[in-house]
Structure formats: structure tokens, C-alpha cells
Amino acid sequence: MTFRKHVMISFVLLAFAGLLAGCGSESITIPEPAAEAPMVAPANVNVQLASDGSVTISWSANGQSHLRGYNVYRHDVDASAIERLNAGNVSDTRFIDRSTEWGHTYEYLVTSVSVKGAESDFASAQVTVIEQRSGKERDTREN
């Protein structure tokens, strides 16, 4: 009986040592979140000029499931300045810029934004706003 007692004690000690070393229990692994697919730039960016000098920028919807919205930037080609025009994400596929200046050439840049805040590459369209000197009407021209 002593042999059985020694085997049993040895087994218990080995099991206990295995638990202390972490061998006897399953470790819990927390899966890392799946990497977010890169955002695709908006397609078919177009600009339309109104007689008051405002510019409507439109683009095709991005069908990605992790899309949160869009950002619209304006590059004033004459001043080399680039600024974001929207304060929050744009959920629509059009944006109206009412802060243009006569005689300036603008390039509008649109990006797609993911739910995690990642932005796509830029898609762009360019426009020149020209004021007609004679008469009260103003002329606009698209490039």
C-alpha cells in the first residue's frame, strides 16, 4: 500500500507543480481586432459653379462597410494653401463651398474616412472662379 500512496502523492505534486507553472490550465487569449481594410478614395469628383461664386462639390458614394463619412479640402492654387472645409464628417456625397473668392483657382480634394478615423487618398477636381468685369453678372468657368 505504501507504493500506491507514494504514486498518488507524486501524481498530486506533479499536478500541483503543473498548475503553478501554467501547464495544467488553458490560457485565455484575447483576439486582436481585425485590421481595418484601407479606405478607397471617392470616385467621380465633380465641381459645379453657381453665379454667386459658390462651388458645389459632388462625388460617387463609397460603398465600404466601415465608411464613416468624407472630408472635403480646398487647395487655393494661387496661395498654395490647403484647408479642410468641413468641421465634422460629411455624410452626404456633396458639399457646397460658399467662401470662394473671385479670380482664384481652387482644387477640391475629397477623402473617405473610416469608422476608426483613417483617411483614403485624395480624389480631386479643379475650378477657376472668374468675375466678369463689365455688367453686374459674374462669369464662372470650370477646368
pLDDT in tens, 90-128: 999 999 999 998 889 999 999 999 999 999 999 999 998
Instruction: Tell me the three cell numbers of residue 28.
Output: 485565455
Supply the pLDDT for residue 138.
43
Query: Which residue ranges form the domains of the chain, and what is each CATH number?
Result: 43-142 (2.60.40.10)
Q: What is the DSSP letter of 120?
A: -
Give 112: exposed, middle or buried? Use CB within 10 Å, 0-12, 13-18, 19+.
buried
The pLDDT-based confidence of 22 (bands split at 50, 70, 90) is low
Report the distance separating Cα 39 and Cα 61, nearest Å: 12
Share of the chain above pLDDT 70, in %: 67
Supply the pLDDT for residue 141.
43
Give 111: exposed, middle or buried? Use CB within 10 Å, 0-12, 13-18, 19+.
buried
Report the distance separating Cα 61 and Cα 40, nearest Å: 10
Give 42: exposed, middle or buried? Use CB within 10 Å, 0-12, 13-18, 19+.
buried
